[in-house]
Every structure is written in structure tokens, then in C-alpha cells.
Amino acid sequence: MKAPKIGLVLSGGGIRGIAHLGVLKAFKDKNIKVNAIAGTSAGAIAGALVANGVDPYEALTVFNETRLIRHLRPAFGSPALLNLETAFTLLHTYIPHNSFEQLTTPLTVTATDFNHGKLVYFHQGELIRKVLASSCIPGVFSPILIDGVLYVDGGVLNNFPIEPLWSDCDFIIGSSCNHLPNITAVRNIKHALERAALLSLNNSMEQKCKKLDILIEPKGLGATSIFDVAKAEEIFWLAYEETLSKIPAIKEKTHFL
């Protein structure tokens, strides 16, 4: 029996995107082979590293030791707080060929064409700037210019890009790091704004989940701030354990395809 082609969708979510590395670590430990990855924002970064053969826990270690935030510089004279392009050198260290075509696992990343207000899927050519463009949260990071077009975070228009996998995969797994717990009160303005943003990002999840074969979504993770770097290790292992609980179902379902 031919092995099914497994696709993996990785959502955006800031530091919560570390969860995707925990998911991929569990897959590696339990011999679940992913044949194609589609990711947005933090999911694009995690996807690019692992698609190039970087061990998921090593990717976490790289983040913890280098503190990606050190590579972000104030974007003076631009309509944002930080310039994400300074992270290029860090990613280039782990993806020196800087090419979609040379990845060991096919990868598609989303970005938002800010000039024309439309969603773009990148899957070929130069890699790193497109991954960074997918991660440019508007107002936080300066847009990235590629071939004369300004790009920002793909999550603006599609935070869970399952679409590139529909036609080419037999079995699709989704990794979402934005599950929101119920609340009884709003703590402050920051809490209200963050929750509203996440509600917007999760708006289409119900419909998209109908197209998934398995969803991995650690409960309540959306309550963690997208910049809470101190929780990186905790997020990783939370997602790892959640994924282990899904492995029997994944193996059972893919066995009959």
C-alpha cells in the first residue's frame, strides 16, 4: 500500500508559533513523515527551519540562545516600531542556500501584498525575505519590499493556509496555536485588543477545520501574548504533549488511506 502524502498547516501566532516546533518534534519522535508544509508568519519561520532539516528542538534552542528579539532593530523613519529584515542573517545561518527549491520538504508561505490588498502564496525562488515578509505584523514590523511590492504578515488575510495543500495531499493535519479560553472579564485595554485580534484571526477556523483530518490545538494557548518569549520552552512541550495524544489517531487514519 502506498504511503499517504501528509500535509501540515502551521498558523501564525507570534511566540506561540514555537508550538509548531513541539508538534514537529513529536512527529519526528513517532516517525510521522510530513510531505508538504504551508505556513503563515511564525508558522512560516518554523516551517522553513524544519523543512530545511533543522531538528525541531534545535530550532527551539537556536531561538532561546540567540533571542530573535535581539535581531530586531528600531525602524526609524518608517511606519512601524521594528525592522524585521535584520533577522535575515540569523535565518541565513540555518538556511544558507536561501531557496525554496532546495528545501528537503516542500514549503508554501503566505504574505499580504500591502500595495494591492491581496493574499500571495510563495513557494519558489528566494526564500528568507519571503518568510520574513510573511511575519511582518503591521504596525510592529516595517513592510518588506520584494520586487517593488510591499508585503506584510500573511495572517492579515489568511492565518491558516490550508488551501495550498488541498489538491496535493491525501491527509492534512493542522497545527493552530491560537485557541482562546472563555473569559468572564476584560483585564485592561491591552487584553481587550489582543483578544479582539485573535477572534478576528480565528474567524474562519471553523470552516477550515472541516477540511482537516486532524487538528492539533493546545487548549488556551491563545491567552499567551505573542511576545512572551519567556514561555517559549513551556509552549514547545505543551504542544509536544498535545501532539503525542493525537499520534494514535493519525496512524490509524493514515493506515487505511
User: Which of 150, 139, 140 has its CA nearest to residue 72?
Assistant: 140
Q: What are the per-10-residue average pLDDT scores of the chain (257 residues)?
A: 90 92 97 97 95 95 62 52 71 95 98 97 97 89 93 94 95 93 82 77 82 94 81 94 97 84
> What is residue 67's predicted lDDT score, i.e. its pLDDT?
52
Within-domain flag for 57:
yes
Active site residues: 41, 153
Residue-number span of the structural domain to which 171 is assigned: 6-251
Is residue 211 helix, strand or coil? Answer: coil
Give the pLDDT confidence score for residue 72 in this predicted structure: 47
Q: Is residue 127 part of a domain?
A: yes
Residue 101 inside a domain? The answer is yes
Are the CB atoms for 112 and 153 separated by under 8 Å?
yes
Biggest alpha carbon distance in the chain? 59
Q: Residue 170 sits in a domain of what CATH number?
A: 3.40.1090.10
Would residue 126 count as lying in a domain? yes
Q: Do 69 and 30 contact (CB within 8 A), yes or no?
A: no
Quick one: pLDDT at residue 151?
Answer: 97
> What confidence score (pLDDT) does residue 200 get?
73
In a domain, 246, yes or no: yes
Closest CA to 23 of 154, 212, 217: 217
CA 111-99-135 angle, 5° bins: 25
Does 1 reside within a domain? no
Q: How far apart are CA 114 and CA 15, in angstroms?
A: 23
Angle 145-48-245 from CA coordinates, rounded to 5°: 135
Cβ atoms within 10 Å, residue 181: 10
Evaluate whether residue 256 is within a structural domain.
no
Question: What are the respective helix, strand and coil percentages of the chain, to the nearest 5?
Answer: 45, 20, 35
Q: Which pLDDT tens digit goes with each residue over 18-74?
A: 999 999 999 999 999 999 999 999 999 999 999 999 999 999 987 776 555 454 455
In a domain, 257, yes or no: no
Structurally, how many domains does the chain consist of? 1
Cα 183 from Cα 148, distance rounded (Å): 44
